[in-house]
Amino acid sequence: MKKYTPKSLDPSASDRNHEAYKAGCDLFREESFTEAKLAFEEALAYWPKDAQAWMALGNCQDEVGRPEDAEQCFRPALEYGADKALAAIRFNL
């Protein structure tokens, strides 16, 4: 039986996080918010403390009319975000 390994423990987790995040950004620019949301969720599966992905996921939730879900994404973004990003995250929140 194959042992399950969480995506965040994958040796290439950082690269896969980055790939999924970039794909999400492209989809967001195309206004494909539901698909972008899935890409950002994939990015977070590889790096759960990615503040940028949390913020982007919150922006997707906001675009599809789910402000409460957006708030639930902006909160971890505040927790994991760098000082220079906190003002933008608070603004979105």
What is the DSSP code (8-state) at residue 3? P
Both tokens of 84, joined, read 């220079």
Residue labelled with tokens 């003002």? 87
**Beta strand ranges found along 1-93 (DSSP E):** none
**Separation between Cα atoms, residue 63 and residue 81, nearest integer Å:** 21
Per-residue pLDDT tens listing for the chain (93 residues): 555 557 777 778 889 999 999 999 999 999 999 999 999 999 999 999 999 999 999 999 999 999 999 999 999 999 998 887 888 888 887
Q: Report the predicted TM-score, pTM, of the whole model to 2 decimal places.
A: 0.86
CA distance linking residue 23 with residue 39, whole number of Å? 6
